Chain A
């Protein structure tokens, strides 16, 4: 495959384009779903193909094909070249790319137990164990139990006209459990997910007590919880909410393509204070096994640790070769593509707020009436306005410096920079446990998020109580 890519790259060089990148990507996935005691769905998906991106006369063209024939690949190159001509109909300024040393490397997937070597029966037995433990914990309240196992083997080869030729392989394993608990007309759902760049050893190292049983306990206890009150409260965010906030509210705004397109609230703020002193935000692609990590991005640039905000000061953005050139900075390996059908765009990897020194007890000690939010479920950000909304599965009221009654269905909203400026403290407890897929421009990319507990002076809580 590499030889064929190099042959196509040589053809692109003969066509004297400014830059061309050939990316071959392949994926094979297996998914099992166990529902109410029956593993009645087994799915496999395979796909592979080529994406060609061409920069010609300062404009981009991109074409992709699922064919493996070299003739179709040259047609794909031709298509990308002609599409670059189409793009040149309206460019504000000629696109240039930052200079980086070409890399030739091969990265093998790191795992202990190859999922392909583990029998389906063993995989099923593992998730059946999760389900049974959850059912025992939920007892008569268990209305529906869904447990899933997924593994994937992904390969990406990046070959460009600057001499880079990088082949990367990744193995991913993921287990999830979702429970619907019922008490009369009240339904509550809870979900747990574990996902790593690892083999079947992830499942072996995930006991039910720390996984499905936690979901069952949460769903059942939420049946008895009152809806959250509405209003403004001092708040403490669990690491899962911190992760959601840092990803949605700051991470997307720190993607340099958003900054350059005029849709980020961080435009023009590099070097300025945008958060409280206790806030340091990092996007780190180098963490072993983490869902959002990678050795090389889809432009063949090494992933790295990027300090976005240091002690409240905005330090840098995440960059592709193009955005780095536009801003006159060094590329930092943040261009990722979802398979061969998409071109690389600026993406996050593992995004987190760094831990501090305080304990959770110290964070809540001086709160007379407030709310602890946990179980981050989803978030939404109005990027250019700097406004966000997050939904937490559960909350715990804080009364007189102590955790009190549990509440359910809690949403929060606020202005990103206002919230970050109002952070009063961060805990030493830290979790990076929000593996998931982030959507942007129609592309879905594995990322992770997390951080410490975060104490915020005041936040708008949307509840029903």
Chain B
């Protein structure tokens, strides 16, 4: 990973030489393959590779940001210079204090699975096809869309104060959207699984579960508008709590946009509610060794 860290440092150095007072840079490169399913057949198989340099530069707290494609020394230096020029054009921010200083960065285990990094498109296609078959084994009325994907990514981050952190990640997902029509009645369900490693990915059974749930939705009817006790399932409660999470962002509070302003230490929800944001969950889909 030293090659990407070197590029991040080159980008920071270029920004500082071009007049930035602080700078940080992230460099990432990766590749991915995905297979999409439409009406019980493969619609397309896609491959993608990418390399990108992003730099933030600060002049009197004003921020300049540049992002460009390519992960070469030239691209990194250009990104650094461009970010510094943008920062000079930005207005000073008197509230700006500092960037993060070097520290021990926790290494989150389970973010990379070498087997996923090298997986062939044919295997990913087999995951997708397997879920067509498992859905249609439940009912041959199932119309299956969805697909499967696998990605590998390397990322490095550095700033002018000496922070240097890097990570390698993989991720894969399998999904099935099953529609069942009987006359004017429609039952449908979307089921999926995502994981950082093969051991945690449920490759089989997604299609079957989506088909079973879609069958269950046949004959469903809208509820009348009313005030009722409600039980939120895990995914529905996630949607509800995201609003609270967004309002708890420090920037939302500092910029007077949050309904949580002045409520730190106060009860804002039932005692039954404990809300946690944790980027260090081993193998977590949004876990990371460092935030950029």
A385 and B179 CA atoms in complex are apart in Å by 9
Interface flags, A255-295, vs B, CB<8A=1, else 0: 00100111100000000000000000000000000000000
For window 53-85 of B, CB contacts with A under 8 Å fall at 61-70, 82
Q: State the interface size on chain A (CB cutoff 8 A).
A: 61
B68–A64 CB distance below 8 A:
no
A-B contacts, 21 of them at CB < 8 A, read A38-B93, A40-B92, A46-B66, A47-B52, A60-B43, A60-B45, A61-B45, A62-B44, A66-B51, A80-B47, A83-B33, A87-B35, A87-B44, A87-B125, A89-B122, A92-B40, A187-B257, A261-B39, A263-B145, A341-B48, A385-B188
* Residues in chain A within 8 A of chain B (CB atoms): 35-36, 38-49, 59-66, 79-80, 82-84, 86-93, 120, 124, 143-144, 180, 182, 185, 187, 189, 230-232, 257, 260-263, 341, 343, 382, 384-385, 387, 441, 460, 462
- Interchain CB contact (< 8 A) of B45 among A40, A42, A84, A231: A84
Is residue B18 within 8 Å, beta carbon to beta carbon, of the partner chain?
no
A40-B92, A87-B125, A89-B122 as given contacts; A46 in contact with B69, CB under 8 Å: yes
**Nearest-Cβ distance from residue B133 to partner chain A, whole angstroms:** 9
**A43 pairs with B179, CB closer than 8 A:** no
A44 contacts which chain B residues (CB < 8 A)? 65-67, 82, 86
| B225 is an interface residue with CB less than 8 A from chain A | yes
Cβ-defined contact, B143 with A262, below 8 A: yes
- Asked if residues B256 and A180 are in contact (CB atoms below 8 Å), the reply is yes
A263 to chain B, nearest CB (A): 6
**B264 CB-CB contact with A under 8 Å:** no
- Chain B, interface size category, equals 35 or more
Residue of B45, B82, B91 contacting most chain A CB atoms (<10 Å): B45
| In contact, A64 and B122 (Cβ under 8 angstroms) | no
Cβ-defined contact, B256 with A144, below 8 A: yes
CA A86 to CA B35, docked complex, whole Å: 9
CB of B172 within 8 Å of the partner chain: no
Contact residues of B between 27 and 49, Cβ < 8 Å to A = 33, 35-36, 38-49
* Contact A43 to B66, CB < 8 A, known contacts A64-B48, A84-B45, A92-B41: yes
A42–B90 touching, CB < 8 Å: yes
Q: Chain B: residues with CB nearer than 8 A to chain A?
A: 33, 35-36, 38-52, 61-70, 82, 86-87, 89-93, 121-122, 125-126, 129, 132, 143, 145, 177, 179, 181, 186, 188, 222, 225, 255-257, 259
A residues near B188, Cβ cutoff 8 Å: 263, 382, 384-385
Q: How far, in whole Å, are A55 and B149 apart by their CA atoms in the complex?
A: 20
Most buried by A among B65, B93, B186: B186
Expressed in whole angstroms, the Cα–Cα distance for A187 and B246 within the complex equals 15
Query: Is the Cβ of B63 less than 8 Å from the Cβ of A63?
Result: no
Return the chain A residue nearest B63 by Cβ: A41
Are the CB atoms of A343 and B69 closer together than 8 Å? no
User: What residues of chain A lie closer than 8 Å to B91, measured between beta carbons?
Assistant: 38-40, 124
B65: A residues at CB distance < 8 A: 41-44
**Docked complex Cα distance between A182 and B256 (Å):** 9
In the complex, what's the smallest C-beta–C-beta distance from B222 to chain A, in angstroms? 8
B46's contact among A62, A382, A460, by CB below 8 Å, is which?
A62
Instruction: Check if A230 sits within 8 Å of B42, measured CB to CB.
Output: no
Known: A45-B66, A86-B122, A89-B42. A65 touches B49 (CB 8 A): yes
Please indicate the chain B residues that have their CB under 8 angstroms from the CB of A49 in the complex: 69
Contact between chains at B121 and A83 (CB < 8 Å): yes
Query: Is the beta-carbon distance between B177 and A90 smaller than 8 angstroms?
Result: no
In the complex, what residues of B have CB within 8 A of residue A189's CB? 257
Most buried by B among A61, A230, A262, A387: A262
What is the bound-complex CA distance between A384 and B68, given in angstroms? 39
Q: Are B69 and A47 in contact (CB under 8 A)?
A: yes
**Contact across chains for B87 and A343 when beta carbons are under 8 A apart:** no
When the two chains form their complex, are residues A47 and B68 in contact, meaning their CB atoms are under 8 A apart?
yes
Q: B54: nearest residue on chain A (CB-CB)?
A: A45
Determine if B82 and A79 form an interchain contact, defined as CB atoms under 8 angstroms apart: no
Q: What distance in Å separates the Cβ of B91 from its nearest Cβ neighbour in chain A?
A: 5
Residues of B within 8 A of A62 (CB): 44-47
Given contacts A66-B70, A143-B256, A343-B46, whether A91 and B225 have CB atoms under 8 Å apart is no
Residue in A36, A86, A144, A384 whose Cβ sees the most chain B Cβ within 10 Å? A86
> Closest chain A residue to B247 by CB distance?
A187
Nearest CB of B to A148, in Å: 13
* Given A59-B42, A64-B48, A64-B49; 13 other pairs, CB 8 A cutoff: A41-B63, A43-B86, A47-B67, A48-B69, A66-B70, A86-B42, A87-B42, A89-B42, A89-B125, A89-B126, A91-B41, A263-B177, A384-B188
Q: Which chain A positions have C-beta within 8 A of B121?
A: 82-83, 86
Verify A144–B47 contact, CB threshold 8 A.
Answer: no
Give the nearest-CB partner of A382 in chain B. B188
* B68 and A45 form a contact (CB under 8 A): yes
Give Cα A372 to B234, complex, Å: 35
What separation, in Å, do the CA atoms of A232 and B255 have in the docked complex?
38
Query: Could you tell me the distance in whole angstroms from the C-beta of B274 to the nearest C-beta in chain A?
Result: 24
